[in-house]
Amino acid sequence: MKNIRNFCIIAHIDHGKSTLADRLLEYTRTVSQRELQAQTLDDMDLEKERGITIKSHAIQMDYEYRGEKYILNLIDTPGHVDFSYEVSRSIAACEGALLIVDAAQSIQAQTISNLYLALENDLEIIPILNKIDLPSANPEEVTDEIIGLLGCNAEDVLRVSGKTGEGVHRLLEKIVEKIPSPNGDPDAPLQALIFDSVFNPFRGIEAYFKIVNGKLIKGQKVRFMATGKSYNADEIGTLKLKQVPKNVINCGDVGYIISGIKEAREVKVGDTITSAENPAQLPIEGFEEVKPMVFAGIYPIESEDFEELRASLEKLRLNDASLVFETESSAALGFGFRCGFLGMLHMEIIQERLDREFNMNVITTVPNVSYFGYSKKAPNTPILINNPSEMMDPGTMDRVEEPYIKASIITKSDFVGSVMTLCIEKRGEIVNQSYLTEERVELVFNMPLSEVVFDFYDRLKSISKGYASFDYHPIGFRASKLVKMDILINGDMVDALSSLIHQDNAYSIGKKMCEKLRELIPRQQFDIAVQAALGTKVIARETIKALRKDVTAKCYGGDISRKRKLLEKQKEGKKKMKQIGRVEVPQTAFMAVLKLND
């Protein structure tokens, strides 16, 4: 056990985590030159295309230092705020963390957020200044910022370049010297923490774990404590670039288990594996439950694909434990699922993965957040409102409370004015403004989560020319003047387009939505009215004009009454068509609400 080191790499998005992981794999000869490629651990097509890490990736390296052999278990984590749950799971399985800061970009919001997460779990932090080979790098100034943040000495900050490999040998030595070995009891009953799992169509579910106490032997009968079910450990092993089967995995090590589990719901991330014959008394503590921030409905385009969509979502949840879903139905779209995501990028990635990995064509409804409603009869009993259609009648409602977040924005001092204007427009209240350096300012706001869900992140990046970084965490619920806005198309309410919005913004948002839908809904043979309504009061309207057909084209001359007769006949036909005609709302219309300011 004393020669095992478990550590993860944490940093803001695009600070060079995956590139540095490549150098560690190369210098420990875990991956041959032939197998090595840019971002070796990012194995999903989406990760390669977008250049971001979406999933945490675990890999084991062998390293020799001063004549002794060490096992280094590395977990490369995502940097985007939407995947912070992946980071918290990785941290739970480690004793140390490499905190990477880009020498050109300096400390960003997510750097600070991930650092606090690691400190809460008592991890040993190794600060690293990356990308020192860049012409725009400013190592002296950024080193001072790291010292101010961590309270360490200048010599503790390692200067490396993930691209050229400079300083990587010193980093490997520092990992062995500074990161503590796991502290467990090899003779105690088996306790292993599941921190990830994947679905293999041929072998069932593969669970990745870290052994906290005891040891795991191949063929041993094990029990999953959350579900209480027992299985045989058919195959166990360690995680190199490919899986390496072993007969025994000892205390403190990281590995995988295949036990022929076919049902996705039988494996929960954060669960404890123990021995069936000699079980541990208690599961491992300290693993936090996921808190979804954004909710949206996902519906199959063909209603007979409902069960297939359920199976796809369950397999996806194995691989992404932050996805939460439950069944719901909509008058416009039939049966589907209400899904909880950690943010808009997370929602976009899930939609893309459903399409690529499971060939599922789905419609996603307008994203929203959860509210608490209180009725006049029971003003102290909260009723959870997950969907605008669940909103109470205004006559019986006492008040509605919406979730608030504390948003931390780090930006250049030139953009403070425009960032403040954006946050105040989104109903934000400034809590704190502090200068980290002469150039960089941290702004802290309390804001409603519903205002951040839509286009906030995109607009923040635009007005700050890409220099602002954003991080947030929930701080509870507050009472607000919220109203339910319905969209009527041809007189029929489309429940999937309903939304809860602040009373002061209702008119402007209603008008923008009607204008946007007029552009996106295809024209029919009859006029279509697109209306935004608060209860029975219509606050905005646009008309999609009918396609014209010249029915009098065949009349050459002759009496005017012939033409009038044809026109009257057409008018009757259009009236009848309007009563029975159904307007198909395209998928782009559901997502248009997110881009009202474009």
**Tally of residues, the chain:** 598
H/E segment holding residue 119: helix 109-120
CB–CB of 322/349 below 8 Å? no
If you search the block for the tokens 């590139």, which residue do you land on? 19
pLDDT digits (tens, 9 = 90+) for 492-532: 887 777 878 888 888 888 888 888 888 888 887 778 888 99
Q: Which residues contact 560 (CB under 8 A, 6 or more apart)?
A: none
CB atoms within 10 A of CB 70: 19
Helix/strand/coil for 67: coil
Output the pTM of the full model.
Answer: 0.69
What pLDDT sits at residue 272?
82
What's the one-letter identity of residue 326?
Answer: E
What pLDDT sits at residue 80?
67
What pLDDT sits at residue 46?
63
Ranges in the chain, pLDDT < 70:
33-56, 79-86, 109, 264-265, 286-291, 321, 331-332, 454, 466-467, 551, 553, 574-598
User: Mind giving me the DSSP string for 452-503?
Assistant: HHTTHHHHHHHHTTT--EEEEEEEEEEEE-EEEEEEEETTEE-GGG-EEEEG
Helix/strand/coil percentages in the chain, nearest 5: 30, 35, 35
What pLDDT sits at residue 466?
65
**For residue 403, what are the CA distances in angstroms to 207, 254, 292, 370, 449?**
34, 38, 12, 7, 6
CA–CA separation, 189 vs 225, rounded Å? 13
CB atoms within 10 A of CB 454: 21
CB–CB of 87/196 below 8 Å? no
User: Quick one: which of 475, 534, 459, 530 has its CA closest to 504?
Assistant: 534
Helix/strand/coil for 518: helix
CB–CB of 477/403 below 8 Å? yes
In sequence order, the β-bridge partners of residue 256 are 208, 237
pLDDT digits (tens, 9 = 90+) for 455-493: 777 788 778 776 677 777 788 888 888 888 888 888 888
Q: Are strands 254-258 and 235-239 parallel, antiparallel or unpaired?
A: antiparallel
**For residue 184, what are the CA distances in angstroms to 176, 210, 214, 250, 252?**
18, 11, 8, 10, 7
Any idea what DSSP says for residue 368? B
Q: Which residues contact 531 (CB under 8 A, 6 or more apart)?
A: 487, 488, 489, 514, 538, 540, 541
Helix/strand/coil for 104: coil
What's the one-letter identity of residue 66?
Answer: R
Here the tokens at position 357 are: 């990995």
User: Quick one: which of 383, 312, 279, 20 has its CA closest to 166?
Assistant: 20
Here the tokens at position 269 are: 């991330």
**For residue 230, what are the CA distances in angstroms to 144, 406, 433?**
53, 43, 54
Number of H helices, E strands in the chain: 14, 31
